[in-house]
Structure 1
Amino acid sequence: MKFVGRESELSFLEEQYNRDSSMVIIYGRRRIGKTTLIKEFIKNKKAIYFLATEESINENRKNLQNTIFQITKNNFYSENNEINWENLFNFVNGEKWILVIDEYQYLTMTDKSFTSKIQKIWDEFLKNKNVMLVLSGSLTNMMYSETLDSSSPLYGRRTGQIKLQELSFDDYKQFFDNKKISEIIDFYSVTGGVPKYVESFDLRKSLLQNIKDNIINVNSYLYEEPIFLLSKEVKEIGSFFSIIKSISFGNHKLSKISADIGIKQSSLIYYINVLQDLDIIERQVPITEKNPQKSKRGLYFIKDKFINFWFNFVYPYRNFIEMNNKTFVLEKIENNLIDNHVSFVYEDICRKKVLDLSANNFFNKNIIKVGRFWNNNFELDILGVDIKQNPVLFGECKYQKNKVGKEVLNKLKFKAEKISSKEKVYVIFSKSGFRKDLLDLSEKENNIFLFDNKIL
């Protein structure tokens, strides 16, 4: 599969490469594309790429020594010599080299003092050489504690770090050559911007066929992917799993999650924070909140699109899947996927598009934040606020088969009137376009913006 996106990350890595010496930490959840990014970056550069394993520290040392020998052809590194970690990097002799240790966390798991060894090697040798050291790993919490935390021996030594995130929808589109935007949105709602998941799909086939072949297939790794991801990151999976399940069932307030799973709120915070650090869930507040961290209106949602899909459409029907009754499960997915899943992902895409347009002053307003809004009476899919925190842009997103008419704008205006604002811009996104009555009105009023899928 072709390499897409990651322009800012590659640019940052090039900047680090052009320094006399640098140490970069790359971390993030599994399947997110860390290794692919690294291999793209080191193309046509002198580099040692080493993939650590869960073997003993001595086996890893021998494997790295053999890797260095294969690339440098230096007989000092032949298997006849046993070289300790401190002397493994002696081949660095003034030429520019990149040294990559991927899945770094395995080395620290098998040798608790390994990060101290790397600190000594860096301080006494590598930092004075023309070298770029890249440490990459998948266990997010362990990578942070071993390389970025103030208690780590490497603290203060890194020159940069990348927490790799999912691909944006704009980048994600590049995987597809012959599909409509609506079809790509449907795929994106299931795989998210996780390259490995896209790679698992046959993009020539329909989404439903891919779900049948690759997700509700007991032999596919995606069938139990959320369980695997959690088991790799946390020791006690049960409470974390229960929290995600509770949120997927519609419990978004901390108090409701607590009551549902029987864990006190004071104890729940720990699990919530870990899941947020892992980018599995997120806390949202109305965009107008002046102090989001202290807001009492915070709600929790599943951030990871695939995990959200899995808990809504795979987990509840595992008994049917295990009995190979895929037809029943596929019918449930086909009948509910758009309204219960894709439409919310569509809203996220639209909000990001409004933010991008605002950055280019498309609406001629000084909009600096775009998000959701809700209170006890109504919700807004999109609300944009200016630098003074004044609401100025009000939006609605419709992912439906029918064209959108003037009644949707009227409802949007009614909601907007409930929010104090001197200026109002109205934005409506529609998967299926717009009726003539709304198109005619938008021609007369210059504060109405209508967007179909072409802009996405």
Structure 2
Amino acid sequence: MFIGREKELRVLENEYNKKGFSMTILYGRRRIGKSTLLLEFIKRKKTIFYTASRVGAVRNLELLSQQVIQTLAPNMSGVSFSSLENLFSFMTNNLSDERLVFIIDELPYWAEKDEGFLSVLQKYIDNEWLDKNIYIILCGSSLSFMENKVLSEKSPVFGRKTSQIRLDAFDYLDAARFVPNYSLEEKAICYGITGGVAKYLSLIDPKKSLDENIVNLYFDTSGYLYDETRNLLIQEFSDTTLVNNIIEQIAAGKNALNLIADKIHESESAILYQLNKLISVGIVEKKCCITEEKNKKKTQYVLKDYMFKFWYEFVPKGISVIEMGNGKLYYEKMVKDKLHRFMGPIFEDMCKTYTLKLGVQDDFGCFITEVGNWWGTEDMKDEYGRKKIQSADIDVVGVSTIDKAIVVGECKFKNEPIDKNIYDVLIRRTKSIPINYVVKKYLLFSLSGYTKYFDEIDLSHTMLYTLDDLYKD
């Protein structure tokens, strides 16, 4: 069953419905659902769909030739072409008035080893296909290649695309559509353990309990996600040992470049090189304090890919037990009770998404265009009344530069209601934000509701949200 991607399908259909030449660049990390999207799109359309492999240019040419012959001239089975130019010339001569979709999936597998591929493609686009009824889709999983070699100004095909799509993971709302009968809490956790990645979501059996699915995916040696992190790293990196060490440190809370380098005894330049590549493939992100985005001292590296986050937090410590066949017991004893803690930062991300959604609708009395985190210090007093400085953070900060206003929020994914103390801390910490904007609203997000205290106070400047609100249509 095909789920979601309505916006992306509309883009593809709009391009298809144009007359003459058009070209879309589609890219996104592995397992995100690019091929599934394309297969849904090409239903009942005349299509040449070729998925490149790491088999070299000659073999890729042979395999693509078979697809071209099968679609354009099935009576010529067995014909081969000595060059890409000959193949494209054959295509040109056999195009008809009927719209043709021409897809090269996993383009980097071919083009990164054959530097002439994109130049030949550009030549035929410019000289032969601009007046032909052909729709080309170039698709790839290597974000760095697609952005630097296909989309950049230095690319031979720069300026030829008529649209581009970066396919990202599903948000928490679309992810919930894979498990329609789960509770809202379970839907949120499913999003957290999969990161909204289409392939991983499709592996969840909605007829089984959440616990059963987690055990089957992560804590069984035959589980799809048990070895997934290693498989992905091998495909993207040559030095997987160093990259693995970097991810381990980030997962353990070492979020600064110098801390990571010190811990694994490598130069900062070597670490930074790998961090940038981890960012390019969507595993890590560089997080900045929302009020000081240019302050390098307030830059943190965090795991963007929730699947990696879950795996590195729980699987390595249990490998011996899991490989003895006791993964279910390990999950029940060592993981299950920690799911809410694991979900904390993910719930924050969900709440930031929700805040931005409401903010652009002007629900807070200001037009919010950016939502992030704030961290810094606050002035406090110790038990003797002496001044002390302590670290502080705020989960959600939405900024309206046009209205010179902010909204601030606290998020709790716990089995206990938010109480007065959490609310008071949020109000107090807001005073430490170094920005002279008016606070329009205080936002609280709770898995388990609120204490009676909130029934008794003025809430005109405060919004109370639960999962019911976040998942409301």
TM range (shorter): over 0.9
> Following TM superposition, by how much is the alpha carbon of 1:10 offset from its aligned partner in structure 2, in angstroms?
1.9
Partner of 1:179: 182
> Following TM superposition, by how much is the alpha carbon of 1:59 offset from its aligned partner in structure 2, in angstroms?
3.6
| Distance in 1 between residues matched to 2:112 and 2:247, nearest whole Å | 27
| Distance in 2 between residues matched to 1:29 and 1:360, nearest whole Å | 31
| Distance in 1 between residues matched to 2:429 and 2:467, nearest whole Å | 24
Partner of 1:409: 423
Q: What residue identity is the alignment partner of 1:413?
A: I
> Following TM superposition, by how much is the alpha carbon of 1:150 offset from its aligned partner in structure 2, in angstroms?
3.5
> Following TM superposition, by how much is the alpha carbon of 1:43 offset from its aligned partner in structure 2, in angstroms?
2.2
Matched, 1:445 2:459: yes
Partner of 1:159: 162
Q: Identity over aligned residues, as a percent?
A: 32
Partner of 2:449: 433
Q: What residue identity is the alignment partner of 2:250?
A: I
Q: How many residues align?
A: 449
CA contact (8 A) 1:4 1:175 kept: yes
Cα distance per residue 1:149-173 (max 9 Å; x no partner): 3333223322222221111112112
| Distance in 2 between residues matched to 1:191 and 1:34, nearest whole Å | 17
Secondary structure at the residue paired with 2:207?
A: coil
Secondary structure at the residue paired with 1:402?
A: coil
Moved more, 404-413 or 301-310: 404-413
CA contact (8 A) 1:383 1:391 kept: no
Cα distance per residue 1:7-46 (max 9 Å; x no partner): 2222222333233211222112110000011112222322
Matched, 1:36 2:39: no
Residue pairs, 1:188-199, within 5 angstroms: 188-199=191-202
| Distance in 1 between residues matched to 2:439 and 2:147, nearest whole Å | 45
Matched, 1:215 2:231: no
| Distance in 1 between residues matched to 2:143 and 2:237, nearest whole Å | 10
Cα distance per residue 1:174-219 (max 9 Å; x no partner): 2122111111001111011101001122122222211221222222
> Following TM superposition, by how much is the alpha carbon of 1:373 offset from its aligned partner in structure 2, in angstroms?
0.8
Matched, 1:103 2:102: no
Q: What residue identity is the alignment partner of 2:401?
A: I
CA contact (8 A) 1:27 1:34 kept: yes
CA contact (8 A) 2:50 2:105 kept: yes
2:406 to 392, 398, 408: 392
> Following TM superposition, by how much is the alpha carbon of 1:230 offset from its aligned partner in structure 2, in angstroms?
1.5
Q: What residue identity is the alignment partner of 2:396?
A: I
Matched, 1:319 2:333: no
CA contact (8 A) 1:98 1:133 kept: yes
The structure-2 alpha-carbon separation of the partners of 1:81 and 1:228, relative to structure 1 and needing over 3 Å to count, comes to: closer
Q: What residue identity is the alignment partner of 2:217?
A: N
Moved more, 79-88 or 378-387: 79-88
Matched, 1:140 2:143: yes
Partner of 1:305: 306
> Following TM superposition, by how much is the alpha carbon of 1:124 offset from its aligned partner in structure 2, in angstroms?
2.5
| Distance in 1 between residues matched to 2:227 and 2:286, nearest whole Å | 25
Partner of 1:4: 3
Q: What residue identity is the alignment partner of 2:62?
A: K
| Distance in 1 between residues matched to 2:402 and 2:146, nearest whole Å | 39
Partner of 1:337: 339
| Distance in 2 between residues matched to 1:34 and 1:209, nearest whole Å | 28
Q: What residue identity is the alignment partner of 1:385?
A: V
> Following TM superposition, by how much is the alpha carbon of 1:422 offset from its aligned partner in structure 2, in angstroms?
3.3
CA contact (8 A) 2:369 2:399 kept: yes
Q: What residue identity is the alignment partner of 1:89?
A: M
| Distance in 2 between residues matched to 1:78 and 1:106, nearest whole Å | 26
> Following TM superposition, by how much is the alpha carbon of 1:82 offset from its aligned partner in structure 2, in angstroms?
4.8
Partner of 2:383: none
Partner of 2:357: 356
